Structure formats: C-alpha cells, structure tokens
DNA sequence: AAGTGGTCTAGACCACTCT
DNA sequence: GAGTGGTCTAGACCACTTG
C-alpha cells in the first residue's frame, strides 16, 4: 500500500535519513513551518515518512547539527529563528564589555541600481533595484562602527518606506518582523585596511587610520543572499579567536 | 582477566555513551593507542564495555565529532595524527596561492627561564626552563611571517640539541617525530598592531607598518599546552572567513 | 498524566577495504 | 571472503516539560 508519498526521499545515492533531511529542509524553506514554530513530533514524522523512529531521528539530528533546527527535550523540535541580533561585536572589543547593544544612526538611505559587484554578491543581475544604507553604530555615545549595507529591493520595500526614526538598533529582528526575511546564516570575511577621509570622519578617527573590515553576506532559510554588509572599525579594537582541530 | 576495569564510565550524571567516550579519551591520552593507530573494532569495544554496539558507536561518533578520532568505512577507527603542518597560511594570502609550504629560517634559539606571561600561558610556573625560538618564514624567497615560539623544556629537549640545519619547515610533524608530542588542537587569537623596528627589519617592511598578529596556544592529546606561538605578518595580506550560524 | 525528545537494546542487512 | 564501519528496525525505558 500505501499512498505513494511523493517521495521527497527518492534522491539517488542518498541514505534514507539524509534524503528525509533534505526533504524536510525544502519544506521548511518553503514556509511549511515558519521560524520559531515546532515541527510535528518524531512519532508523527516517522509515520509520515514510513521509517523507524531512529531513522527519522537521525534526519532531525542532522538538521539540528546544521543549525536549521533546535531540539528541546520534553518540548519539541523547532525551526531556528533568525540569527542573534548583533554578533558584529564578536569581532571588536571596545572599552565596556557589558553586552551593550550598539546604538544605530542611519546616515543615508537610497534606492539605487545595484553596481556590478554588489549585484553579483547578492545573486542579482546588475542594475536591479537595491536599498543602500550607511549607518554608524555607537557604544557609550562614541561612534565605533561604520556600516555599508545593500538589500535587494522588492523584498525589503517596507524598509524603503519606514521612517528613519522607527528603525531598530538591531536589523535582523526587524527584517523578520517587517519584511518576513529570516537570516539563517552568514559568512564574514575579515581583512585589514585604512580609513578614507569620509569614513574616518564618521568614526572620529584620523584619515588613514588602520581599520578592520568585515564583509558579510547573510542568507535566508532558502539559502538566498539577502544582505551584503561591510563593517569598518578601529583595527586596534579588533580581536577574534579561532579554534583549530 | 580481568582486571576490574577501573570503570572510567562510572561518572555520575553522564549518559552511558558519554562516560564511555570520556574513558576512551583518557586511555588515548595515556598512550594506549598512539596517534595514527587503530582502535579495536566496535564489536570488541562494545563487549569490553558491556554495552550494545549502538551505544558504543555513539561514543565513537562523539569523539570523532570532537576531532579526536577518524572513522574510515571498511578500515577502522583511528586516533587522529597531529594537526596539519602549516595552517598559518589560512590567515594570510600572499601573491602565489599555490599551496607552497613557507620555508623556515631559525633566527635564534635560546634556553631561558619562562617569563611570567609565557609561563602562565604554557601552564608552567614562572622561571621554569623553556626553549625560545625566533624564525622567519618565506614564500618565493620573500620573508613573509615572523614567528616567536616558546616550548616547555624537559619535553622539547631534543629540539634544544638538534642542529639548526636539520630543522624542518613544518614544526608539528617534527614535534611528533623527535619529541613524541602530538598537537591535537590549537586556539588562535587574532589581533592587529604595528611592527617594531627589529620586527620590521626581519620582514623587509618599514617600522610602524601595520601587521596582523596571530597568538596561538597548541595543545596535545592530553590537553596540555605544549606551544605558545605569536606570528606576525603584513596586515594587508591578512584575510579570514568565518561561518556564522 | 500526557506528550515530547534522550538513551539503550539486540538484532539485520548493506557498503567498503583488504588479502 | 572476512572484517570493518554505515544504515535501519522495532521495540523499551527514562527525563523533561506542560496542562
């Protein structure tokens, strides 16, 4: 019998659990279970997929290890909500290490046609409409980080219209709430350089001052690049720890 | 028989598989299975520990995920050999990206009493004997990296006596071969600074030139810190990519 | 008390490697 | 072909969370 489930698991060469994981990943990306909500229980899913519970578990554990799901003993299995708000401070250590969230001040917001390099990083065609933002982030009243952001435009239209005064300090929760965009993972590329005159002015540093540069590409649940961001900060405040194994 | 195996698995509050993993980790650290050798088969280990094979498997998978073991389908489960030779280039990109190993030139080698800060990082008492090395690493004939190393001395005595001409370009395989020290993991702390006059001279750069600084602590199988190393390189050649999830 | 995920068992069969 | 790890099953029992 039994209902020929459209076997999302029919991928060739994949183990049963890997195929099931891939299928679940697609259904999550398609919005069947929005971020923060619970999946059906292991029992239900196992019956649905026609496998033993242990096999279904392996699929869930795989997705949990990849950061897509979060399993909570006694409660259920949940689709992970957006990334934590301000992990940018993981790269910088300014005077006060108090977990304070940097205050955000939008310096400029413009709708523009994507330059070639930005379009390529966003996975768009050159010239597609994007939202370009410049903002300064401060700690203890002192400007510390200068950020340059590019957001694809049909998707982020609500932010093109939202009054500047109503913007939040943390962007990712705002993306989720106002645009339904959930940042699920990001890639940060670290480099060192020096500040141009205009950049230096925003940070109250002399032109030519050494700076650390973090070039981020953020991706949503479906794997699309939804944000390109370049952050500059005083190189002397930069620090980062890497575990090698 | 049957020595009352000192049930390393008797830890309270640990699941059976976690306790078994901890016990195996200790036996590996104690040298029962040297790096590169195979552990007994799952069947044998399961019988030894008196658990089902699936439980034993979980223990092995845990240790494999932690990078201590390497499992090879059809061959066996192996204790991972030392870290790859020169992962320092993961942080720098000089002209040629050809996977070339940087040539090493020892600039100085001295037996000294450990300064307080070094002793602390090595987990020694201040004043304990250590080997202090300074070396320059070059690519394509050009000096690129300046390294400052501290090695605890009873342990690395063979390197205190080895003629400089016989040193290898890669240190970790040499530690393993000559001193029986196997580097299993390391922590790299990335920062930024400027070159002092002496440092700049070694790298053929002007004094005050911006540099990236990688401060490494390397640990052996038993978790002891066996090397403290600070590497300096041109800040403009620095790059590193971080995955955030 | 009911429902969830976490641990564990005692098997079966398959895929890979070596000789 | 013998031995290894990889996948999968169909259960049991435990620990945690919530009504």
Q: By percentage, how much of chain B surpasses pLDDT 90?
A: 87
Q: By percentage, how much of chain A surpasses pLDDT 70?
A: 93
Q: Cβ distance A37 to A44 under 8 Å?
A: no
Residues 61-80 of A with CB under 7 A from strand D: 72-75
Query: How far off is chain A from B5, nearest CA to CA, in Å?
Result: 30
What are B134's strand-pairing partners?
Answer: B108, B148
pLDDT class for B147, splitting at 50, 70, 90? Answer: very high
Stretch B14-37: mean pLDDT, rounded?
Answer: 96
Query: How far off is chain B from A236, nearest CA to CA, in Å?
Result: 6
**Given CB atoms, is A136 within the 8 Å cutoff of chain B?**
no
What are B76's strand-pairing partners?
Answer: B72
Domain boundary pick from B59, B79, B99:
B79
User: Tell me: the pLDDT tens digits for A108-144?
Assistant: 999 999 999 999 999 999 999 999 999 999 998 999 9
Average pLDDT, chain B: 92
Does residue A96 share a domain with residue A60? no
Q: Cβ distance A232 to A84 under 8 Å?
A: no
A5 CB inside 7 Å of strand D: no
CB-CB under 8 Å, B245 with A185: yes
Whether B2 maps to a domain, the answer reads: no
B191 interaction partners in chain A (CB closer than 8 Å): 238-239
Which nucleotide is nearest, taking the CA of residue B42 and each C1'? D5
Domain boundary pick from A79, A110, A129:
A79
Of the given ranges (A27-41, A177-191, B8-22), which has the lowest mean pLDDT?
Answer: B8-22
pLDDT class for A82, splitting at 50, 70, 90? Answer: confident
Of the given ranges (A64-73, A226-235, B91-100, B153-162), which has the lowest mean pLDDT?
Answer: B91-100
Domain boundary pick from A46, A79, A112:
A79
Tokens of B27: 């036996």
Whether B124 maps to a domain, the answer reads: yes
DSSP B168-203: -S-HHHHIIIII---EEEEEEEEEEEE--HHHHHHH
Whether A21 maps to a domain, the answer reads: yes
Total CB pairs under 8 A between chain A and B: 81
B190 interaction partners in chain A (CB closer than 8 Å): 190, 238-242
User: Tell me: the pLDDT tens digits for A5-20?
Assistant: 344 435 567 999 999 9
Torsion region of A92: left, alpha or beta (phi above 0 gives left; psi -120 to 50 gives alpha): beta
Whether B179 maps to a domain, the answer reads: yes
Which nucleotide is nearest, taking the CA of residue B38 and each C1'? D4
Distances (CA, A) of A71 to A60, A80, A214: 8, 9, 31
Of the given ranges (A86-100, A231-245, B167-181, B208-222), which has the lowest mean pLDDT?
Answer: A86-100
Nearest to B220 by CA among B70, B34, B117, B82: B82
CATH number at residue A159: 3.40.1410.10
Whether A119 maps to a domain, the answer reads: yes
Of the given ranges (A65-69, A85-89, A170-174, B230-234), which has the lowest mean pLDDT?
Answer: A85-89
What are B46's strand-pairing partners?
Answer: none
Tokens of B155: 């342990």
**Residue B82 carries which DSSP code?**
S
Rounded distance between C-alpha atoms, residue A79 and residue A82, angstroms: 10
**Given CB atoms, is A245 within the 8 Å cutoff of chain B?**
yes
Query: How far off is chain B from A112, nearest CA to CA, in Å?
Result: 28
pLDDT of residue B2: 33
User: Tell me: the pLDDT tens digits for B30-80?
Assistant: 999 999 999 999 999 999 999 999 999 999 999 999 999 999 999 999 999
**Given CB atoms, is A223 within the 8 Å cutoff of chain B?**
no
Residues 47-76 of B with CB under 7 A from strand D: 54, 57, 71-76
User: Tell me: the pLDDT tens digits for B101-113?
Assistant: 899 999 999 999 9
A12 CB inside 7 Å of strand C: no
Does residue A133 share a domain with residue A42? no
pLDDT of residue B11: 59
Q: Cβ distance A99 to A85 under 8 Å?
A: no
pLDDT class for B85, splitting at 50, 70, 90? Answer: low
Whether A8 maps to a domain, the answer reads: no
- Given a cut of 80, is residue A209 above it in pLDDT? yes
Q: Cβ distance A53 to A60 under 8 Å?
A: no
- As a three-state string, the secondary structure of B25-80 is HHHHHCCCCCCCCECCCHHHHHHHHCCCHHHHHHHHHHHHHCCCEEEECCCEEEEC
Chain-centroid distance, C-alpha A35: 13
Stretch B73-101: mean pLDDT, rounded?
Answer: 86
Of the given ranges (A50-59, A96-105, B72-81), which has the lowest mean pLDDT?
Answer: A96-105
Picking from B185, B244, B245 by the largest number of A CB atoms within 10 A of its own CB, the best residue to mutate is: B244
**Given CB atoms, is B93 within the 8 Å cutoff of chain A?**
no
User: Tell me: the pLDDT tens digits for A146-187?
Assistant: 999 999 999 999 999 999 999 999 999 999 999 999 999 999
- As a three-state string, the secondary structure of chain A is CCCCCCCCCCCCCCCHHHHHHHHHHHHHHCCCCCCCCECCCHHHHHHHHCCCHHHHHHHHHHHHHCCCEEEECCCEEEECCCCCCCHHHHHECCCCCCCCCCEEEEEEEEEEECCHHHHHHHCCCCCCEEEEEEEEEEECCEEEEEEEEEEEHHHHHHHHHCCHHHCCCCHHHHHHHHHCCCEEEEEEEEEEEECCHHHHHHHCCCCCCEEEEEEEEEEECCCCEEEEEEEEEEHHHECEEEEEC
Rounded distance between C-alpha atoms, residue A73 and residue A60, angstroms: 13
Does residue B95 share a domain with residue B54? no
Does residue B127 share a domain with residue B42? no
Q: Cβ distance B35 to B81 under 8 Å?
A: yes
Rounded distance between C-alpha atoms, residue B121 and residue B123, angstroms: 5
CB-CB under 8 Å, B186 with A192: no
What are A71's strand-pairing partners?
Answer: A77
CATH number at residue A64: 1.10.10.10
**Given CB atoms, is A235 within the 8 Å cutoff of chain B?**
yes
pLDDT of residue B81: 86
> Which are the contacts of B223, defined by CB distance < 8 A and separation ≥ 6?
B29
Chain A residue with CA closest to B245: the answer is A185
- Given a cut of 80, is residue A21 above it in pLDDT? yes
Whether B100 maps to a domain, the answer reads: yes
CB-CB under 8 Å, B239 with A242: no
| Torsions phi, psi for B3 (to 5 deg) | -35, 80
Nearest to A244 by CA among B215, B117, B96, B211: B215
User: What's the CA–C1' distance between A71 and D10, in Å?
Assistant: 23
Question: Residue A223 belongs to what domain range?
Answer: 87-237
- Given a cut of 70, is residue B10 above it in pLDDT? no
Highest mean pLDDT of the ranges A10-19, A43-52, A98-107: A43-52
Q: Cβ distance A18 to A59 under 8 Å?
A: yes
* Nucleotides of strand D under 7 angstroms from a protein beta carbon: 3-12, 15-18
Does residue A127 share a domain with residue A24? no
pLDDT of residue A1: 37
Torsion region of A22: left, alpha or beta (phi above 0 gives left; psi -120 to 50 gives alpha): alpha
Exposed / middle / buried, residue A99 (Cβ in 10 Å: 0-12, 13-18, 19+) = exposed
pLDDT of residue B82: 84
Query: How far off is chain B from A181, nearest CA to CA, in Å?
Result: 16
pLDDT class for B98, splitting at 50, 70, 90? Answer: confident
Tokens 């891939």 -> residue: A22
- Given a cut of 60, is residue A217 above it in pLDDT? yes
Q: By percentage, how much of chain A surpasses pLDDT 90?
A: 87
Rounded distance between C-alpha atoms, residue A239 and residue B17, angstroms: 37
Does residue B67 share a domain with residue B157? no
pLDDT of residue B84: 72
Does residue A224 share a domain with residue A164? yes
| Torsions phi, psi for A117 (to 5 deg) | -65, -40
3-class DSSP assignment, residue B161: helix
Tokens 């223990």 -> residue: B59
Whether A6 maps to a domain, the answer reads: no
pLDDT of residue A8: 41
Nearest to A42 by CA among A76, A7, A6: A76
CB-CB under 8 Å, A187 with B192: no
Does residue B72 share a domain with residue B100? no
**Given CB atoms, is A53 within the 8 Å cutoff of chain B?**
no
Does residue A224 share a domain with residue A176? yes
Picking from B53, B191, B233, B241 by the largest number of A CB atoms within 10 A of its own CB, the best residue to mutate is: B191
Chain B residue with CA closest to A235: the answer is B192
Does residue A206 share a domain with residue A143? yes
Does residue A130 share a domain with residue A98? yes
Number of domains forming the structure of chain A: 2
Exposed / middle / buried, residue B217 (Cβ in 10 Å: 0-12, 13-18, 19+) = middle
Does residue B173 share a domain with residue B53? no
**Given CB atoms, is A208 within the 8 Å cutoff of chain B?**
no
């Amino acid at each position: 019998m039994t209902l020929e489930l459209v076997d999302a698991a029919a991928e060739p060469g994949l183990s049963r659990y890997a195929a099931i994981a891939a299928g679940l990943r697609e259904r999550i990306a398609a919005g069947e279970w929005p971020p923060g909500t619970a999946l059906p229980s292991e029992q239900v899913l196992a019956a649905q997929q026609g496998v033993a519970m242990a096999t279904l578990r392996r699929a869930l554990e795989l997705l949990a290890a990849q950061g897509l799901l979060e399993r909570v003993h006694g409660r259920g299995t949940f689709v992970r909500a957006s990334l934590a708000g301000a992990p940018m401070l993981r790269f910088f250590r300014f005077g006060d290490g108090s977990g304070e969230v940097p205050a955000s001040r939008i310096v400029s917001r413009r709708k523009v046609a994507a330059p070639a390099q930005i379009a390529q990083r966003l996975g768009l065609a050159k010239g597609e409409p994007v939202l370009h933002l410049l903002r300064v982030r401060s700690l203890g009243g002192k400007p510390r980080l200068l950020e340059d952001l590019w957001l694809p435009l049909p998707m982020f239209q609500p932010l093109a219209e939202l009054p500047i005064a109503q913007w939040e300090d943390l962007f990712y929760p705002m993306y989720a709430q106002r645009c339904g965009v959930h940042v699920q993972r990001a890639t940060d590329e670290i480099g060192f350089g020096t500040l141009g005159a205009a950049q230096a002015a925003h940070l109250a540093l002399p032109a030519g001052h050494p700076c650390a540069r973090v070039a981020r590409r953020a991706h949503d649940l479906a794997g699309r690049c939804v944000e390109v961001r370049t952050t500059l900060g005083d190189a002397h405040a930069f620090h980062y720890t890497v575990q090698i194994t």
